[in-house]
Every structure is written in C-alpha cells, then in structure tokens.
Structure 1
C-alpha cells in the first residue's frame, strides 16, 4: 500500500515495479545499473478519485504519457530496495504535487508603506554603523 494522503491509498497491484538492467556507459558501475527500477502506474485504471485523475492528466510532465501511464525510472542507489522506495516516493510526490492547490501570490510590487519602512530601517542602520568607534561629544 502506498499512502498518498490521509484519505487516499494505492494498492500494490496498481503499481508495477520491474527490475531492469539499464545501459551503462561502457559497462561501468555494474552494481548500480543492475539494481535499476522502472515503476509503471496507470492513472485511468487506478483507484484514485476522479479529481486526482483529472489533475494528473492535465499535468505537463514527461513521465506521464497521453494514455495516462506514468513511468518513473530510478537507478540512483546501489540496492534494489532503495531504488524501489525512491521510485515510490517520486510517484507520491507527483500525485501530491498535482493535487495541491497553488498558494495565492503576493503582489509583485511592494507597497509604498513597506518601501518607506525598508528605507527608514536601512538608513537607521547606516547611521548606527557610521557612529561605531566614534566618540560622542
């Protein structure tokens, strides 16, 4: 079971993980390459809620095909188990990222009040720095 959120979990049968032997550059790093993993997940035939499916299909991500199949490749670790965990974590992050609501952005221009406060604070700091080491009369 892969837990996506408090309400959503994916069953093991929905995620297909296959061990592959990737092509290394001239056979270097054989141990690392031998434990590579491909994770395959079908969005449309999964038990995800319809809202999740729509948001995932709307993403413009290279890992998602037009047919709704997600393929994640993991080969950064030497052991097979760590690569499986890495692939599952990346799938979880992909789904969570698709569902998260975007935060409202602040206005790009600072307000007039914040600009004056900033300038006042800076000039005050500048005065204090200028007075350092000087004896007051």
Structure 2
C-alpha cells in the first residue's frame, strides 16, 4: 500500500531523469534535426567559398547548431576554428579547439589537417592545454 502512495512521486523522478538525456548525460546521440543539418551545410558552403568571417558568425549565432548533437557541433566548431586561424585570430582558434576537445577528448584532426601550417600547431597547443 505504501508503494502505491509513492508511485506518482517515483514516476515524476523517473521522468525528470529521462529528460536529462538532452543535457549530455546520455551516451546516445539522436540524429540532427533538418534545421541543424541545413545550418551545417550552410557553414560548409561558406567555408568552401572563403567566407571565413561569415563562418565564424554563423557558428557563433546559430541556435540550430548549438542544439545539435555533439558530432555536428564538433564539425561546425572545427570549421569555425579553421576560420579563426585563417583570419589570424590564433587565440580564438585555440579556444575553439579546446571547446572541441572538452566535448570529445579523443578528437583528432585528419592527417592533412594536422599538418596544416596555420592550425596544426594551434591544435597541438590546444591539446596541451586540456592535458591530452
């Protein structure tokens, strides 16, 4: 009889805990929303077109990217970091790489990216900052 009295409270707690999965507490990522996919595609097009300032602003202000699964955010942040480096904002480039490494401590650049003269050394510095 006592268990039935506490059942509504227990269900409430379980519902609240289930809602925590959107806070990065779950190891499972859902698929990105179409809006997030479109935002990333826009950033990729801007980057390919050499619109580095626009990439920086789009990633910084996009609610769709901010709410996207970690893997999509990391890809957007990487293009933002590259854009900072190209624009010679090496401190902001490094801080963005640190942000990526805080999301995924195993993140690495592809060999051709790691060897890039502008952002390769900055990424190495970011790894040192986070103790990687």
TM-score category of the 2 structures, normalised to the smaller one? under 0.3
**TM-score of the superposed pair, with normalisation by structure 2:** 0.20
**Per chain length, whose mean CA-contact separation is higher, i.e. which structure has more relative contact order (CA < 8 Å, sep 6+)?**
1
Higher helix share: 2
Higher CA-based Rg: 1
**TM-score of the superposed pair, with normalisation by structure 1:** 0.20
Higher strand share: 1
